[in-house]
Amino acid sequence: MDSPRHGNLTGNPRKVKDTAVELYTVSTLWKNHRDEGIELIRQITELKLQWLEEKVKRQELENQMQLLCDKLETTYYKLEKLVQKLDILTSHMEGMAKLEEYQEKNKIGRFANIDESDTSHMFLTWPTRRFYLFGLKNKH
């Protein structure tokens, strides 16, 4: 089941491609939200230092701190959703990798004229299992 040389991908190759694109999107969003969280933590630290140096009054500290903490909590929930999405995508890749391995194993058994050294995959670059392992590695 090689990648078609012309036209659009269909079936499992299309699913793997789409999932790989989603993995890239999730990792990009993760980086952006992580950076937001780091900036919010920096702002919280700066605000606390200003209060300790008596540059900010207690009421102003409480108001601004609540606002920053609310934003940080929202960022946390965005990251949590991305982890859940990554779990789903990794599970999809695992299933497609197992399907490809099963199809390859049965292909050799069914057709006598197929060379047992044939290692064709859905893609000419990475086998599906490698996409799955990439997703699993980036999950942790």
pLDDT in tens, 64-117: 999 999 999 999 999 999 999 999 998 888 888 888 777 777 765 544 444 444
**pLDDT, mean of residues 26-44:** 97
| Cα angle, residue 54 at apex, residues 52 and 56 outer, rounded to 5° | 100
Determine the pLDDT at residue 27: 93
pLDDT band at 132 (very low <50, low <70, confident <90, very high): confident
Give the chain's mean pLDDT. Answer: 81
Q: DSSP letters along 26-51, please?
A: HHHHHHHHHHHHHHHHHHHHHHHHHH
Give the domain ranges of the chain: 12-139
pTM across the whole model: 0.66
Distance CA 77, CA 69 (A): 12
Determine the pLDDT at residue 17: 87
Determine the pLDDT at residue 123: 52
Residue bearing tokens 């992580």? 34
DSSP character at residue 2: P
- As a whole-number percent, the residues of the chain with pLDDT over 70 amount to 76
CB 111 within 8 A of CB 34: no
